[in-house]
Amino acid sequence: MPSLIINRTDIDFMAKQVNASHILVKSEKKANEILAMLNGGESFEAMAKKYSECPSGKKGGILGWFGRNQMVAEFENAAFKAEAGNVVGPVRTQFGWHLILVNETK
């Protein structure tokens, strides 16, 4: 069976921009605690306002639209691989641990 090879030109057919929100905390443990609350039905916006250590937390974690090479690699990779409406993470970056909600892609 032949293997599937994805090259750089194939990526052009995938999402070029992501509209996302995130929650940034200092520890993986805290990120997992928040993720459990989100999975239990808590509002992402409310959790961002309550727990996020990023200034975007005051706005419910909203980052808005961004393209490739605008975020640190770990964050960007997770956001661009996720489907709209899904929360991904915890994702570790140099800033801490993120939970990322992908709102839309285009």
> Domain ranges in the chain?
16-105
Q: What percent of the chain has pLDDT over 90?
A: 83
CATH fold of the domain at 16-105: Chitinase A; domain 3 (3.10.50)
AA identity, residue 55: P
Its pTM surpasses 0.95 = no
| pLDDT score recorded for residue 11 | 47
- Cα 46 to chain centroid distance, Å, stands at 16
Mean pLDDT of 60-77: 95
Structure tokens at 4: 């599937």
Structure tokens at 14: 């995938």
pLDDT in tens, 18-37: 999 999 999 999 999 999 99
AA identity, residue 64: G
Q: Which residue has the tokens 């995130």?
A: 22
**CA torsion, ordered 72, 77, 79, 83, to nearest 10 deg:** 180
